[in-house]
Structure formats: C-alpha cells, structure tokens
Amino acid sequence: MFPKRLSQGYQAFLAGRFANERSRYRALGELGQQPDILIIGCCDSRVSPEIIFDAGPGEMFVVRNVANLVPPYQPDSAYHGTSAAIEFAVNGLQVRHIVVLGHASCGGIRSFYDGAEPLSPGDFIGKWMSQIAPVAESLDAAGSGGEGSGERATRLKRLELAVVEHSLANLMTFPYIRRRVEAGEMALHGAYFGVATGLLFVRDPATGRFEAVTEDAPA
C-alpha cells in the first residue's frame, strides 16, 4: 500500500501550494524548466535544498547523492549518474551557478571516518566514499581511536568542509565547466549547512574560508 503519509502530504500540497501557484506549474509544464542554479547536495533527509533556500518549483536543478560528492570527469563506459545530471544542467539548461552544499553530521563521511562495516556485500557506499581517501589523508583525518568527543567533532567537520572543496575542484575537471568559469559565464560556490543550528556557511573564494551568512538563526 502506498504510504499514508505521502497520500496525506500530496492532498495538502494539492489544496495549498499547487492551488496557490497553479499558473506557475502550468507554465513549467508547457514551457519547460529554466533554472539558473544547480545544487549538488547530500541525499540526507535532513538537508533538502528546496527547503533550506525556500525555493519554488522550477527555481533550482537539484542533484543529490551520498556526501554531496562530484567525481572527476571520466568519459568512459561506466555509469555516471551525478556527471550525467551535471552535463544536463550545464549544457542543456545553461545554469549560471553551481553550488556544492555540504552539511554537518553527514552519515557518509562519518562512516568513512569510522571505517564502518559494509551494509551489503556490494558495499556501494564504501566504494563511493573511497573517493575522499586522498582528502582525508591530506587532513590526517582518518579515525584514530581514543580521541575525545570534541576532537572527533572538529575532525569530522574539517573533513565535511574539505569534501565540499574536493567536489568544487572536481567540477573544474569538466572541460565545459572550466571553459565557462574562466570566461566568466559561470560561478562555482561552496556552502555548508548546520542541521542542528540552521546556520548556513558560504565559502569565500578569496580566502577559502566558510563564513556564516548570518550569525544568529531564529530561536
């Protein structure tokens, strides 16, 4: 049976947002989408870009995977879901901004840090997260055991932020992205969301530091 929660949510959407934005949905259905922004985020259920940025339908093209990772450009015979979505957003939709959105308490990054056991024989998560091994090594961020909770939290956050930087660097390995960035036709951005605090941090390209958009989240 279809989940009752989804049926109820759909009814609320139909009576509320859809009714209020009917003309917008009609235009999107007839004319297609023209978002200006691509968000590459984590599939974590607590970090929905549309909610965080209060976006309406058609405003953002969103790609989500474990740990908001962008693999390097690899035009081979393998399947590349994230790269396919990036290709469509950049070359099909002509987005002008790409935002890599990391977040606190990322389960994928924590599992890598802890050397967690595979969840299945295929270990898709472990293989996917192995991409960040060089990042962790550069930070000396592999879990070492015996660390205090404060040190552990600090190391995990450093790794979460470094993964955003890693994905931004990998975006520049896509020839059509590099060409547009260097021509001033596209901008890349890094951001980091605090799940518990609601605070958003945006990377300053000049310094590489993540600065809070606002110092205080509403109580």
| Predicted confidence (pLDDT) per residue in 119-166, tens digit | 999 999 999 999 999 999 999 744 444 567 789 999 999 999 999 999
Q: Classify the phi-psi angles of 145: left when phi > 0, otherwise alpha if psi is within -120 to 50, otherwise beta.
A: left
Between 46 and 142, the higher pLDDT residue: 46
pTM: 0.94
Least Cα distance to 108 among 122, 129, 135, 127 occurs for 129
Least Cα distance to 67 among 105, 102, 114, 113 occurs for 102
pLDDT value at residue 140: 77
pLDDT value at residue 215: 74
Distances (CA, A) of 82 to 15, 91, 146, 177: 34, 14, 36, 14
pLDDT value at residue 147: 67
Domains assigned to the chain: 1-31 (no CATH), 33-212 (3.40.1050.10)
- Contact call for residues 201 and 212 (beta carbons, < 8 A): yes
pLDDT value at residue 170: 98
Residues of 8-44 as b/e, b for ≥16 C-beta within 10 angstroms?
eeeeeeeeeeeeeeeeeeeeeeeeeeebebbbbbbeb
